[in-house]
Amino acid sequence: MTSLTHEPERSARPAMLNRLDSPLTYQILTFALFAIGWQIYGTFFGGLLVPTFTETVAALVPTLVSAEFWEAFVVSNQALVLGFAAAVAIGVPTGIVLGRFRTLERLSNVYLNILLVTPMAAIIPLLVMSVGFGLLSRVILVTLFAVVMIIVNVRAGIRQVDPSLIQMARTFGAGEAQIWREILLPGALPSIMTGIRLGLGRAVTGMVIVELLMVSLALGGLILEYRGSFNGPALYAVIVAIIAEALVLISAAQWLERRIAPWAPSAGKARS
């Protein structure tokens, strides 16, 4: 469709313009406009807490080489790694069980639906009351953020497996264990990987939220600290760094998904 609408006009113009009329050009153009807009806003309306684009970029370098940043980074990611690992360890088996046993699935369905839309951040006060401000409560929150997404996707994956594949395996005399190993698990693998990727996104969100809303420490703590000391450029630099980490992690997960389940129809459907 796209090629049809722009191919004819293309040929009618000089070659130089054609080469410029490419996705990359527009991508860069957007970024440039955004940076210029930011620069103008920061310069004329910014005030104390809104740095300009150039100030932020300049602050990025010292921030990224400071020991303070990397210490905070390690502390944050501790909770992320532990919490996400727990979410996978809990979520995948739970999703499989729910996908397999119809009654359990029907009983749990209403709770999963509630958990999917419930802002998990609202249970932060309860977490603080029960386990305090330590690493454990951060880990628990990260796990809670990620686990529902994983369960829901794994369950869907198991349930989506084409029933005729199971019948086919039966005609060759497959028993229950073989059906699991040969059909259900490989069949659900793409969805399991999708669940893990989306769960990772949620885990990063949980990591940030817990530090911004519950314990002001690590990366979230830095944000609040810089905000308090009106250090706009450093504040923005930390935010950029967190976003960058999220993007890197998710892209890695996406790459892994494509590597592990290359037969699946295009990974990376918008769902969250």
Radius of gyration of the chain (CA): 24
List 20, 61, 89, 168, residue binding another protein (CB under 8 A)? 168
Q: Which pair of structure tokens corresponds to residue 18?
A: 């054609």
List 208, 215, 234, 267, residue binding another protein (CB under 8 A)? 208
Q: Which is nearer to another protein, 6 or 65 (CB)?
A: 6
List 36, 61, 74, 118, residue binding another protein (CB under 8 A)? 118
**Residue 243 near another protein by CB under 8 A:** yes
Q: Which stretch binds another protein (CB under 8 A): 11-19, 58-66, 121-129, 135-143?
A: 121-129
**Residue 216 near another protein by CB under 8 A:** no
CA distance 117 to 221: 27
**Residue 64 near another protein by CB under 8 A:** no
Give me the least distance between CB of 39 and another protein, in Å please.
15
Give me the least distance between CB of 135 and another protein, in Å please.
18
**Residue 252 near another protein by CB under 8 A:** no
**What angle do helix axes 53-65 and 67-100 make, rounded to 10 degrees?**
90
Give me the least distance between CB of 180 and another protein, in Å please.
10
Provide the sign of the torsion angle of the four alpha carbons 51, 57, 60, 61, taken in this order: negative
Residues 6+ apart with CB under 8 A from 268: 254, 257
- Site map (CB under 8 A) of another protein, residues 86-105, x = contact: -------------xx-x---
**Residue 179 near another protein by CB under 8 A:** yes
Q: Which pair of structure tokens corresponds to residue 23?
A: 């996705």
Q: Which stretch binds another protein (CB under 8 A): 11-19, 89-97, 135-143, 156-164?
A: 156-164
Residues 14-43 that bind another protein (CB under 8 A): 21-27, 29-31
Give me the least distance between CB of 167 and another protein, in Å please.
5
Residues 6+ apart with CB under 8 A from 85: none
**Residue 110 near another protein by CB under 8 A:** yes
Q: Which pair of structure tokens corresponds to residue 179?
A: 């059906």
Report the b/e string of 214-248 with b at 16+ CB within 10 A: bbebbbbbbbebbeeeebbbbbbbbbbbbeebbee
Chain-centroid distance of CA 103 in Å reads 31
